[in-house]
Chain A
Amino acid sequence: MRLRYPTNIKIIKVPCSGRVAIIHMLKALEEGADGVIVAGCLEGDCHYQSGNLRAKKRVIYVQEVLEKIGMEAERVAMYNLSAGDGPRFAEIAREMTEKVKELGPSPIKNAKKLASKKSKVEVAA
């Protein structure tokens, strides 16, 4: 289809969005991701009955955790689209990239950079 979507998105394939656990989203943020999309099938269309509904609950859980620790909940989002809907995927990717751009870089990435700079200075000194 040769659709264009932002190149800064890293795709991790899972058999079902129900496979995405809370820890996976948190780990992505820990690694410095600016945002995380969980893309599941349309509600009512899950091949495993309720994988996407479970994923939705987990996304909400992570959003709540983020709020409690003072990070923007919008850095994590759940989208539902059919596996065949490439154009919609490209649209979602662009939408999320825009949203994250507005929020600015992840505070984790910044803090990590700062910490590694500090330790380099310490080594140099």
Chain B
Amino acid sequence: MIMARPKPIEEIIDEIKDFNKVLIAGCDGCVTVCEAGGVKEVQVLASALRLYFTKENKRMEIDETSLTRQCDKDYLHELLDKIDDYDAIVSLACGAGVQFMAEMYRKKPIFPGVDTCFIGVTEERGVWAERCQACGQCILASTGGICPISRCSKRMLNGPCGGSEKGKCEISPDTDCGWHLIYERLKELGQLDFFAEPTDPKDWVSSRDGGPRKIVREDVRL
């Protein structure tokens, strides 16, 4: 899932301070799972903002809503009737959701309420970690199901480098060496031949090197 963290409230106050009526829009998707932009976080942010602006004697109305997904036009449409009641929207969805909202409601200022960080997993409650950098050409089949692009600090396709020590990466003793993990897993799977075989340079055109990416699938288009 896409992982994000709440923006500092000072930053959001600064975004909206010149308006009078603002809608805080959460997303029930990924950002709910990482507890950054779901219904609960919308309520807390809206309440804190109301406290701040009331204390400052500033006329400001803050309303709350949350959409099933902000990366989907059908759900964004749900705001059609009420969007004009607001001077601005703070979207707590990931960067994709914020942008899609801005594309649909071109005349409304839309501000981000979270910092979108990575594609990852919930390791435990309150701990989220990166697992994929959406390179567009997955090589997990030959790396024991562990992604060297997101888990090796240098994104090396043939590792480990000389900085790997006792299973840890040289950038920090808290960071596992991705290639150590790959080696250990391939050994467990009896697939060390993958490790012995050098990986060819990757075609990064499917990654960001090819410019903004798009998937078009005629088989599922209407």
| Chain A residues within 8 Å of B, Cβ to Cβ | 21-23, 26-27, 29-30, 65-66, 68-71, 107-108, 111-112, 114-115
Cβ A23 vs Cβ B43 within 8 A: yes
> Is B50 among interface residues, defined by CB-CB distance under 8 A?
yes
B55's partner among A21, A27, A65, A69 (CB-CB below 8 A) is A69
Cβ A69 vs Cβ B48 within 8 A: yes
Cβ A69 vs Cβ B44 within 8 A: no
Cβ A111 vs Cβ B55 within 8 A: yes
| Chain B residues within 8 Å of A, Cβ to Cβ | 8-10, 13, 40, 43-44, 47-48, 50-52, 54-57
- Tell me whether A111 and B54 are in contact in the complex, defined as CB-CB below 8 angstroms, given that A23-B43, A68-B9, A68-B10 are known contacts: yes
Given A26-B48, A69-B48, A107-B55, 20 more A-B residue pairs with CB atoms under 8 Å apart are A21-B40, A23-B40, A23-B43, A23-B44, A23-B47, A29-B51, A30-B47, A30-B54, A65-B9, A65-B44, A66-B51, A68-B9, A69-B9, A69-B51, A71-B51, A108-B55, A111-B54, A111-B56, A115-B54, A115-B57
CB distance from B166 to the nearest CB of A (A): 33
Main secondary structure of the interface of B (DSSP, over half): helix
CB distance from B78 to the nearest CB of A (A): 23
CB-based nearest A residue for B52: A69
A-B contact pairs, 30 of them (CB 8 A): A21-B40, A22-B44, A23-B43, A23-B44, A26-B44, A26-B47, A26-B48, A26-B51, A27-B47, A30-B51, A65-B44, A65-B48, A66-B51, A68-B8, A68-B9, A69-B13, A69-B48, A69-B52, A69-B55, A70-B52, A70-B55, A71-B55, A107-B54, A108-B54, A111-B54, A111-B57, A112-B54, A114-B57, A115-B54, A115-B57
CB distance from B202 to the nearest CB of A (A): 43
CB distance from A25 to the nearest CB of B (A): 9
CB distance from A48 to the nearest CB of B (A): 16
Q: Which residues of A contact B43 (CB under 8 A)?
A: 23
CB-based nearest B residue for A111: B54
CB-based nearest B residue for A25: B47
Main secondary structure of the interface of A (DSSP, over half): helix
Cα distance A111–B9 in the bound complex, in angstroms:
21
CB distance from A67 to the nearest CB of B (A): 10
Q: Which 9 A-B pairs have the closest CB atoms?
A: A69-B52, A26-B47, A107-B55, A111-B54, A23-B43, A65-B48, A68-B9, A22-B44, A108-B54
CB distance from A21 to the nearest CB of B (A): 8
Cα distance A13–B136 in the bound complex, in angstroms:
54
Cα distance A70–B55 in the bound complex, in angstroms:
9
CB distance from B137 to the nearest CB of A (A): 42
Cα distance A30–B44 in the bound complex, in angstroms:
11
Cα distance A46–B204 in the bound complex, in angstroms:
54
CB distance from B7 to the nearest CB of A (A): 12
